Amino acid sequence: MKKDEIFEKLFKEAKRILRNSYAPYSNFHVGASLITGSGKIYSGTNVENASYGLSMCAERIAIFKAVNNGEKDIDTLLIYTETETFTPPCGACRQVMAEFNSEMKIYLVNMYGEYKEFSLTELFPWNFKL
């Protein structure tokens, strides 16, 4: 699949799933989508909790869904928020991403559909591994 095609598919899926974001406490809605080496797409949103620390980020939900479906080869992950600024992944999500592909491609997309592209090696160098 061409790079533009991957971006468009992931963007469309992140926008779709964003509607399911459960964020009544922060009102900050995040949609994440990813594509595996085999071409499968998984996505997730943040899911918050009244006990704030139990909340989960969109990226980790998308990754865990993929892994639970037997797909660990995560090639590219896109993070979408309806904000003017771009939303980079938190440190915890970076560590989880690095578990599966320390060179994962990452797109950050804002409300205008503008994007920034990174490799996880840039965002999370020298990651912890056992």
What residues make contact with ligand THU under the rule CB under 6 A? 23, 26, 28, 30, 46, 48, 55, 57-59, 79, 87, 89-90, 93
Q: What token pair was written down for 5?
A: 């095609």
Between 13 and 59, name the residue whose CB sits nearer to ligand THU.
Answer: 59
Distance CA 39, CA 27 (A): 32
Cα-Cα-Cα-Cα torsion 114, 72, 92, 61, nearest 10 degrees, comes to 70
HSE, CB side, 13 Å, CA atoms: give it for residue 50: 0
Between 90 and 111, name the residue whose CB sits nearer to ligand THU.
Answer: 90
59 as an active site residue: the answer is yes
- Residue 45 beta carbon to ligand THU: minimum distance, rounded to whole angstroms: 7
Give catalytic residues, as residue numbers.
Answer: 59
